[in-house]
Each structure stands twice: as structure tokens, then as C-alpha cells.
Structure 1
Amino acid sequence: MCTRVQPETMEQELIVGGAGEGSEAVGERGSNHSGDGEEQRLSSPWALYKRSMSERPLLTKSVTSALVSALGELMGSALRSSPPPPLPAGAGTALAVKGRAGAGQGTGTAAPGLLRRTAAFAIFGLLVNGPVFHWWYGALEGAAARRRKAGEPPGGAGDITFKVAVDRFLMTPPYLAITLASLRLLQGLGAKRSIGETSALYRGVLFTNWKIWTAAQLLNFKLVPIEYRPVFGNLVAFWWNIYLSLLPAHK
């Protein structure tokens, strides 16, 4: 998958400044300083992000998904283009020749290829991944609330187990196939090659996804406060997109 985003109802942070009793002695200058500090806090990146999430959640999640996906691909491209490690002392001639011949093969870091791949990741994040998971996690929370027994608290063991199981085993398998195929189609590889590469990669990538994202979602649902879940999900998604970027091509 690409970028994972969590839905939540995020209240806009209100930072109320002002002096207490006896503040008249502070004077106009102190009041101005307090206002400056309040303005700086309200204009901080985190405050702006929270306000955007509250006022435009779908757009914010979609743009964030596009940025994280593109950055993951750029990092993957940088890793693909890095020189191979030096051969150990005493390595055979055949091994040295093979290593030099293979260096740089399949890196795909030429300018047109890099631009095409980065655009594919960004477009998929903006138009597919962000909107899909905005809807999916809202539906998942609704389903969890409906199955919750009377008196069972939100965020309990049963609640978390239900959400993780449904997300991992109902949503992930089909959506991962869509992700792998779509990224290749957006790169202009054609339907036949895109389907072929997706079929060749799918099983291994699915098991890797289950290993990484199952643990991440358990932590996210259990330990991370709801207002920080999108940030945590984007951190994991950044590394996941690097992994997707480094997947080999199967011709």
C-alpha cells in the first residue's frame, strides 16, 4: 500500500492568550508580545496541519498521501542509484566483473524515468490512496461501533482486534493488487506488463505488508492518540513507499 491515513474528528486548537489579574501593569508592550507569541503558535506547521485536517480532511489527507508517496519514491530512487558496496579483499575476478557489470542496472534513475515514477506515486496517492482510506477508516470505525457490545469501551481489546483483522484480511489483499497494478499503469508500462509484474510480486509483497502494517496498526489503534494517528501512519507509509519503489521489475 501507499500512504495510510486515519480518519478522525479533529478539533481546531484554540490558544487563548492574555494576562491574569493585575495585568494592567504589564502595559501595551507586554500585551503585544503575548499576541506575537500566540500568533506564532497558531501559525506553526502543526497547528496549520490540525486546522486543515479539521476544515478540509479529505483534501488534506489526499495531498499528504501524494507528498509522502512521492518522497518515498525519490528516496527509493536515491537508494537504487547509490554505488554498490566495495567487494571484500580477495574477491575473485569473475565476481568483480559481475559486480561492475550489474552496477546501475535496473536503477531507473534517469531523469525521464525518475519523473515518471515519482509522478505515478504522487498521482496514485492524491487521487486513489488518500480518498480511499479517508472513506475506509470512516467505514471501519462505523462497523466497529455497530458490533461493539453494550458497555464495551471504544479502544478495548475486542474493538482493536476487530478493526485490525478487518483491515488486514478484508481490505489489504484486493487493495494491494490494485496498488501494484495502478503504479505500473501510471508509469506507462501497459496492461499486460503491469498485470504480469503484479502477479509475480503479489504474494511476497502481501506477506511483507501483513508483517509491517499489522504491527503498525496494532500500535496505532492501541497506543497513539487519535490526533496523532495520521502522523504515525504517514511515518510508516513513507518507509513502505520506499519498499514499493525498490521492488524489482519482472519482465
Structure 2
Amino acid sequence: MAMPWRVYQMMMSKHPWKIQILTAGTLVGCSDVVSQQLIERRGFANHDTKRTIRMAAVGLIYVGPVLGVWYKVLDRIIVGRDKTAAFKKMLLDQFALAPCFLACFLAVASAFGGHSSEEIWLKLKKDYKDTLISNYYIWPAVQVLNFYFVPLVYRLPLIQVVALMWNTYLSWMANKI
């Protein structure tokens, strides 16, 4: 385990942007596999591989870039890693980014799934509120710890690892009929 971690760290130091985005895409795709197999109990014979690829693409094209830029901006707006700075960053993250990010995630994932704009709007009306409330149960505490203890370059990958289960939930919400 030490060797893969060292390789990952080396790659992060050489290509942080690319590796963060690849990590996000990979883990969002893995979350869809978990969603289909553990939550939806599809079994591998009925696994929707195209859906998993679409969700990985959402991670690559949307989640990774948006969160990667957001964490950099947040560090410029609120300087420092003390408890007060971490708390302020969490507040901005949860009340400025999260509502918009989640709505866009559901819309992007639905659009990638071939849904019409009317279907996407109905999905948002139906699922957005529950998704945002669930977000507030989990992420404020995680983000305070993230902003307090984790260096900027590792925030997105760490959050994506923690988010494996959250993204499983999001994949289920984005793809349920």
C-alpha cells in the first residue's frame, strides 16, 4: 500500500490538476458501481455499464474541475488553516457552493442520461430538496476537518474518497426514475 501511495503523491506533485480530476472521475464511476450493486441490487448481469461510464464522465467533466477550482478560490478568499478559517470555509462551501453544485450535478447527470429538459426540471423539483438536506447531515463536519487538517492539493482527492458513499447516494438520486 505504501508504494501506490508514494506514486500517487509523486503524480500529485507533478500534475495536481490532472490527477485530481482523474481521481474524481474514477471515484464517481466507482460510486455508481456501488450504487447499482449494493443499493439497487442489480447484479453484475444487469449492471448498466453505460451509466457507470456516464457517471465517471460527470466526475471528470463536472465534479473534478468545479471542486478543484472551488477549493483554490476558497483558499484565496479565506486565508489560513486555523479553526476559524476552516469554519468560515465550511460555511461558504455549504451555503454558497453546495446548493448550486448539487442542482447542477443532478441536472448534468440527468442530461448525460439522455433526459429532456422537462424531465430534468421534474427531477430537480422532486429530488433536489431531499438531496440538499442529506448533504447538510454529512458535509459540514467533514469539510471543517478537511479545511483544518488537509493541504489544498489533497482536499479534492480526500473528499472524493470520503464521498465514495455520498456519490453512491448522488448516483442513485440522479438515476432513479
Find the structure with the greater CA-based Rg: 1
Counterpart for residue 13 of structure 1: none
Counterpart for residue 160 of structure 1: 86
Provide the rounded CA distance (Å) in 2 between the counterparts of 1:110 and 1:189. 21
Contact in 1 for aligned 2:24/2:156 (Cα 8 Å)? no
Residue-by-residue CA offset, 1:86-108 (whole Å, 9 max, x unaligned): xxxxxxxxxxxxxxxxxx7xx9x
Equivalent residue for 1:110, pick from 46, 51, 54: 46
SS at match of 1:182: helix
What's the offset of the Cα at 1:116? 2.4
Q: Does 1:132 align with 2:54?
A: no
Counterpart for residue 77 of structure 2: 143
Change (3 A) 1:232 1:110: same
What's the offset of the Cα at 1:228? 5.2
Equivalent residue for 1:182, pick from 102, 108, 116: 108
After superposition, residues 224-243 of structure 1 pair within 5 angstroms as 224-226=149-151, 229-243=155-169
After superposition, residues 37-186 of structure 1 pair within 5 angstroms as 44-82=3-41, 110-111=46-47, 114-145=48-79, 154-186=80-112
Residue-by-residue CA offset, 1:38-58 (whole Å, 9 max, x unaligned): xxx7xx211111111111111
Provide the rounded CA distance (Å) in 1 between the counterparts of 2:116 and 2:122. 10
Change (3 A) 1:72 1:182: same
TM-score for both structures, normalised by structure 1: 0.63
Provide the rounded CA distance (Å) in 2 between the counterparts of 1:228 and 1:132. 15
Q: Tell me which amino acid in the other structure corresponds to 2:176.
A: A
Contact in 1 for aligned 2:17/2:68 (Cα 8 Å)? yes
Provide the rounded CA distance (Å) in 1 between the counterparts of 2:40 and 2:176. 15
TM-score for both structures, normalised by structure 2: 0.88
Counterpart for residue 249 of structure 1: 176
Identity of aligned residues (%): 27
Provide the rounded CA distance (Å) in 1 between the counterparts of 2:63 and 2:157. 16
Counterpart for residue 10 of structure 1: none
* Stretches (4+) displaced over 6 A: none
Structure 2 unaligned spans of 5+: none
Contact in 2 for aligned 1:116/1:187 (Cα 8 Å)? no
Counterpart for residue 146 of structure 2: 220
What's the offset of the Cα at 1:249? 3.1
Structure 1 unaligned spans of 5+: 1-40, 83-103, 146-153
What's the offset of the Cα at 1:142? 0.3
Contact in 2 for aligned 1:197/1:249 (Cα 8 Å)? no
What do you get for the CA RMSD once the two structures are aligned?
A: 2.1
Q: Tell me which amino acid in the other structure corresponds to 1:142.
A: R
Provide the rounded CA distance (Å) in 2 between the counterparts of 1:157 and 1:215. 12
What's the offset of the Cα at 1:231? 4.5
Residue-by-residue CA offset, 1:196-226 (whole Å, 9 max, x unaligned): 112210001001111111111112123x342
